[in-house]
Amino acid sequence: MKCIINRRAQFSASHRYWLPELSEAENIARFGACTRAPGHGHNYVLYVSMLGDLDEYGMVLNLSDVKRVIKQEVTSQLDFSYLNDVWEEFQQTLPTTEAIAHTIWNRLAPHLPLTRIQLFEHPELWADYYGNNMEAYLTISTHFSAAHRLARPDLSYEENCEIYGKCARPNGHGHNYHLEVTIKGEIDPRTGMIADLVAFQKAVDDQVVEPFDHTFLNKDIAYFAEVVPTAENIAIHIRDLLQAPIQQIGAQLYKVKLIESPNNSCEVYCETPQELTAIATQREPALAQA
């Protein structure tokens, strides 16, 4: 039986974004405050995912061995280091979140049956790498506060209450929405980036956060005058708003996750991941027989 196990590790390190072939003005224009010498630091959190068969002891791998390998190959070398100097890979590629995740994969792959490396630079920025050449995923998280009412205009108040419950009350209610936006692209071998992080953040702020924040979605966002602003519909609209701006910065929008409350969230993709296709294919025969 196949099983994926995950191991968490952490390290603290500093880095600097600076390309010697660019002028000071060009570096500042491209990397902003990240160019400041001697650099800045983060408390990185690393998740290593591994796939394997369960053995007779009920384990995929001995976690003591996994811990030792991660420490030996990664954390003991990176902890309290200046990333630009510690590994030779970062002499050619800037140590961005996605480039570090890619390099950690390459360091661990000879020793562990990896399926994913996930690296958090901080709680609102992380990268995922799955071993697919130079392709990586980068996620930023942000938030906005808004009110909405769930009700279809073609239905009576009583009918809407049957469908949407308290959410159909006429004066609406509010949420502190948490938004995660994931892009994918090829890691640039020099900058270490799949897209300009500042431009990525600006696209999300300009298209979503600023227009949506502190609004009554049904009344202030034209799209929701005719569309019920459920979490699902909001996520779909955000996906549609972001696809073109993300493409303009040289990446591809991959996923939008909207967390409406600690109990409710939804995810929408720009293309159906293979694992979701497989699940849907498995369910279709069962649904047909029902």
On whether the CB atoms of residues 200 and 251 are closer than 8 A, the answer is: yes
Q: Which amino acid is it at 101? A: A
Task: Name residue, tokens 């390459």.
Answer: 106
173: tokens are: 């209610």
Q: Among residues 98, 121, 180, 260, which one is catalytic?
A: 260
Q: Among residues 124, 173, 214, 284, which one is catalytic?
A: 214
32: tokens are: 């902003």
Tell me how far apart the alpha carbons of residues 140 and 121 are, in angstroms, rounded to a whole number: 10
On whether the CB atoms of residues 88 and 70 are closer than 8 A, the answer is: no
On whether the CB atoms of residues 167 and 233 are closer than 8 A, the answer is: no
In sequence order, the β-bridge partners of residue 132 are: none
Give yes or no: 167 in active site.
yes
**Phi/psi of residue 269, each to 5°?**
-115, 155
Q: Among residues 167, 178, 186, 267, which one is catalytic?
A: 167
23: tokens are: 């002028």
What 8-state DSSP symbol labels residue 207? Answer: I
Under 8 Å CB-to-CB from 150, ≥6 apart: which residues? Answer: 160, 163, 164, 167, 168, 228, 229, 230
Give yes or no: 260 in active site.
yes
The catalytic residue positions are 167, 214, 260
